[in-house]
Structures are given as structure tokens and as C-alpha cells.
Structure 1
Amino acid sequence: MKNTPEYRGRIATKYVAKGREEGRAEQAARAVSTVLTARGLELSAAQRARLAACTDLDQLDAWLEQAVTATSTDELFG
């Protein structure tokens, strides 16, 4: 296994990027939940788990846009 500063730097960069991506997904999921809560729509345990497990930023963005006008959480996650 390589143990050069360049190799360690590439590995560190990879993990930092992954951490940022995970952070963005967590933040987007919180935004969806916040919008739904503010609108008086409650997530079921299964929906909350699905939202928390999602790492697809495009899907999270779509849910966020839909959360603004959805009449139920079933409509959003249906």
C-alpha cells in the first residue's frame, strides 16, 4: 500500500468530498421535513426513514419543490 503524501492527500480529498455530499443530502432532507412540518403535514415513520435514507440530491430537490404545494405526505412520497 502506498503511504506517500500525495496518496494520502487523494484519499483525504475523496473522503472530504463524500462527507460534503452526505451533508448536503442531510440538509436537503431537513429542508423537506421543515417545509412539511410548517405546513402542518406529518411524516409517517416509514416516510421519515425514507427521507433520511435518501442520498439522491435530485430526488431531494424534487421532494422539496413538491412539499411546497403537496396536500398530503402520501402525495409527496406516493
Structure 2
Amino acid sequence: MIERGVQKGLTQGRAEYILRILTARGVQVSEAARQRIPTCTDLATLDRWFDHSLNATTLSEVLDGLAR
């Protein structure tokens, strides 16, 4: 039970940071993505999106893994 709560906290935090980074970088984030990112429960996917968000110029670079 505690482990599940920790996992949920990690995923929620990671999703929040992804959206904050994208907004700060001026990347347009669709409403669909604003709903998709926070509902992702796979930490590995969120970590990948987070890493890509640091250099991405478009949302597809983040979600499709195309960031350089």
C-alpha cells in the first residue's frame, strides 16, 4: 500500500515537471497532452518524456521520443 502511494507520488511529480519544463521552453502543449501526461503511470515512460522535454522544441519530440 505504501509502495503504491510512493509510486503515485513519483509519477505525479514527474508529470508536473514535464509540463512545467515544456511551458517554460515555450512548447505548445495540447489539451489532450495535458490530460495524457499526468495520467501516465509508467515511471520509465515519464522519465523518458522528462529527458526529452529538456531539449525538445515540439510536443511530438517529447511524446514520440524524437528529441535530440
Judge same fold: TM > 0.5, yes or no. Answer: yes
Task: Quote how far apart the aligned CAs of 1:56 are.
Answer: 0.7
Structure 1 unaligned blocks of 5 or more: 1-14
Structure 2 unaligned blocks of 5 or more: none
Offset from partner CA, 1:7-66 (integer Å, 9 cap, x none): xxxxxxxx1111110000000001111110110113101111110110111110100110
Inter-partner Cα distance in structure 1 for 2:17 and 2:24: 10
Give the length in aligned residue pairs.
Answer: 64
TM-score between the two structures when normalised by the length of structure 1: 0.76
Superposed structure 1 runs of 4+ greater than 6 Å apart = none
TM-score between the two structures when normalised by the length of structure 2: 0.85
Larger radius of gyration: 1
- Residue 48 of structure 1 aligns to which amino acid in structure 2? R
Inter-partner Cα distance in structure 2 for 1:42 and 1:52: 16
